[in-house]
Chains A and B, each alone.
Chain A
């Protein structure tokens, strides 16, 4: 269970703060003229105001960044009789980030929505960042796992920032579908080196993961190189993660490991090993990402009995004005008999091609239309989705 931190509680209990956040302070046309005039003025040396807050609400806003994210959509698929469309309302994402002190920040994210007819509240992220030095950041709490680039670049609720209507299936964060340890609870240290030439970032984590089918304790490393320094147009990285899967899950898993035993003594401990390569391009107007995944479940850390999943995805989009046509291809294949993926009911093969158009109404609203073709199940789907963030 989680206790809401003070910044989030304050944000949630201040409706005016949300109302204030709906729109950026927009100048009146006359004020724009005035501003344009100010540029021509060679001496804008009027008494310089300091960054004083303009009232209590402004002071609160200065300390807390609060946003709400949501999405609604219509899906029509050949997997359903008569191509019957269904209306989807995604979970509402309440997000708050606060600067507690000069080198300390907190982030809280709460998601709520209906899942299988029941109200579900989920806390995907809640952590504190402490910047120990200019190059070292320490994080404690629950956060997205530093595995590949997509998981941390596109948090669950921010559909408005995503290229496609959903995440790749392998990286799904939907309830009951999580195949990888998306959320970790523990400690993460991030070291960065920037200067002339490429920048380097190293993330190291020791944490408990709690993905749907295989909670356990693990540790991982991610090394990312940014061409042209931090914020460069191209990044490439390699990640590794080793996780000890809990006994409860292995007992619960109804399927057997590939070595074909159902002996509880052998099944009650297992290991998950993950290796990921990722590349991402984010130089306007190009937006692209590709990742290759290898996931191995075994009863020991050696190369003995094990099951494996091999998968990859690539997606790219190109923006013209407000319009971004995009495409994605995703594929994975896993061994039958994997107790973790078996318990999830994950498909043995995922082979899907998607193409769509994202229209950015503004920086806070996007509308997407997407066609998806599942080559493995031979199913077609059409989705229309609106994503909001305000």
Chain B
């Protein structure tokens, strides 16, 4: 049973809660828009010989965070650019929804568990293109424009 004082208090609390939800939604919307704007220009790239077909974002996430093999059984070879490279930041934040440092820590933990091998670290975009072209099962983030024909973007 509600008393007169609670009757007076309840609408105010509801209005306050509603305001909080609206403001929260706006803030979340703004936050989720910001990285999306920065995401243009990068793709997760794979050697065309590795994957014949497409792969959705969910499957791509699985490959980056847990699966050690492609659907055909061949091992996934992650090719990573230097820490802090814009393509790495894009991959971690846009594709995986986490800071790059958290992603790298998860990778190292998987290696330590024994469920994965250490990714291939490269020093430049050009080197990454070379490794992706020459390594079966290689997967890595690259600028979307100017990809050689042998490489295909996935998880679009």
Contacts and interface: CB of A to CB of B under 8 A. Distances in A.
Interface of A: 24-27, 31-32, 34-36, 38-46, 48-51, 62, 65, 67, 69, 95, 97, 99, 102, 105, 107, 125, 127, 129, 131, 133-135, 143, 152-153, 155, 158, 160-161, 192, 194-195, 199, 226, 228-232, 284-285, 319, 321, 360, 362-364, 389
Given A51-B131, A97-B118, A285-B98, A232 B113 contact: no
A230 B67 contact: yes
Contacts of A231: 61-67
Contacts of A127: 114
Contacts, number: 161
A152 B116 CA distance: 13
B39 interface: no
B155 interface: no
A45 B148 contact: yes
A181 to B, nearest CB: 18
Interface of B: 41-42, 58-59, 61-75, 81-87, 96-99, 101-102, 104-105, 108-109, 111-114, 117-118, 120-121, 123-127, 129-131, 133-135, 143, 145-146, 148
Q: Which 6 residue pairs of A and B lie closest in terms of their CB atoms, listed nearest first?
A: A134-B73, A231-B66, A363-B105, A284-B98, A231-B65, A230-B67
B112 A25 contact: no
A65 B58 contact: no
B87 A39 contact: yes
A165 B148 CA distance: 48
Contact of B66 (A105, A226, A362): A226
B88 to A, nearest CB: 10
A360 B105 contact: yes
A179 B131 CA distance: 47
